[in-house]
Structure 1
Amino acid sequence: MSTEALSPRHSPWTIDSRTVVFGAVGAALYAVLGLFSFLIPGTQSVTVRPAFALVPFFGKRFGVITGFFVGFVGNVVIDLIQGAGLIWWNWSVANGLVGAFAALIFTAIPPISSETLRHVVTALGAFAATALGLLFTITDLWILGIDFNTFLFLNYLPALLANGIAVVILAPALDAAWEPLAKRAGL
């Protein structure tokens, strides 16, 4: 099994046909599967979205541009389909940043030969990328005119908890499922 996310021949910043194709596929998957979510009661429109695990996964496997594209475009499409329009643009940017940070985090980690350790590192890296990317939603302080406590306790922490659980469980599972497929396809 491979011990690294991006193959040595691919820079995390590369824009090529691979980046475009996987970005489009990832955004479409996230947009469709992201519709299967539910609202967390007592928050300001924070939802649990298991499909969110696709964002750090695509960032890890296909780079910064793909990760950002999957998170940003996928979230914009979900919001448009659900009728929210572009009101929550800053959350779409935050989703994109999660994918970009995932790519940067996993590029910085040296190859790991232990499969179990690789899954743990994938879970922790995906969670760290989620925590960092979602910090962009602090812009709600200015956009919505809310106070810091409202942002922290009704927006950021519930979103981090819900998405954090999804990425800690599902990102390593997606990554493990991708390994044999990538090997067979020569990716």
Structure 2
Amino acid sequence: MTAESAGATAPREPLFAISSRTVVFGAVGAALYAVLGLFSFIIPGTQNVTVRPAFALVPFFGKRFGVIAGFFVGFVGNVIIDLIQGSGLTYWNWSVANGLVGAIAGLIFAYIRPSRSEAVRLLVTAIGSLVATALGLLFVITDIWVQGISFETFVTLNYLPALFANAVAVVVLTPALDAIWEPLSKRTGR
């Protein structure tokens, strides 16, 4: 059985290649994330950390469409959300962190062999998305310099609340999106 027939998620082109497919899926993903990301709410007692279920789209697009598309969805989608909500580019580093989540998810899933078992594939999707989220969001440590906060504030009011809120989204919704996409991808050969 070939990797393609087993439902491989590895890109068919080099990891960092930019093709029309990458651009189209990245743009569609960023638009979806920007629109759906507006449906979020701030966690009380944090430094403007929001629960955003649409965040599950970021590792999903990284997994299914590669590193560049994943970064584009997270970065551009988050920039658009911030612009629409009126914070401008004040939190640019959070946009970069969102982009890194998508890129890291693309890297993780490019090297994981697909499983024939649906349950295992969905579990691996949840774990890989969680790892990508934890690693990508570490970039917001730059808030120490950008916002002038302490390391303790970064950990307790920025990183951990954002990680927890986004972990719920990626562990539940990213595998659900992947389960919906899998039959479509097999049907189209992508």
After TM superposition, the score normalised by the length of structure 2 is 0.95
* Residues 1:132 and 2:135 aligned together: yes
The number of aligned residues is 186
Partner of 1:59: 62
Following superposition, the deviation at residue 10 of structure 1 comes to 2.7
Listed as ranges, the matches of 1:51-130 within 5 Å are 51-130=54-133
Q: Secondary structure of the residue that 2:133 maps to in structure 1?
A: helix
Following superposition, the deviation at residue 34 of structure 1 comes to 0.2
Segments of structure 2 that go 5 or more residues without pairing to the other structure are none
Following superposition, the deviation at residue 112 of structure 1 comes to 1.3
Segments of structure 1 that go 5 or more residues without pairing to the other structure are none
Question: For 2:184 and 2:116, how far apart are their aligned partners in 1?
Answer: 18
Partner of 1:5: 9
Partner of 2:48: 45
Following superposition, the deviation at residue 183 of structure 1 comes to 2.1
Following superposition, the deviation at residue 107 of structure 1 comes to 1.1
Check conservation: 2:53, 2:169, Cα contact below 8 A.
yes
Deviations 1:98-118 (A, max 9, x none): 000001111121221111011
* Residues 1:20 and 2:23 aligned together: yes
Off by >6 Å, runs of 4+ in structure 1: none
Check conservation: 2:104, 2:136, Cα contact below 8 A.
yes
After TM superposition, the score normalised by the length of structure 1 is 0.96
Question: For 1:57 and 1:2, how far apart are their aligned partners in 2?
Answer: 18
Aligned-residue identity in percent: 72
Question: For 1:116 and 1:186, how far apart are their aligned partners in 2?
Answer: 21
Check conservation: 1:119, 1:172, Cα contact below 8 A.
yes
Segment drifting more, 70-79 vs 110-119: 110-119
Listed as ranges, the matches of 1:28-43 within 5 Å are 28-43=31-46
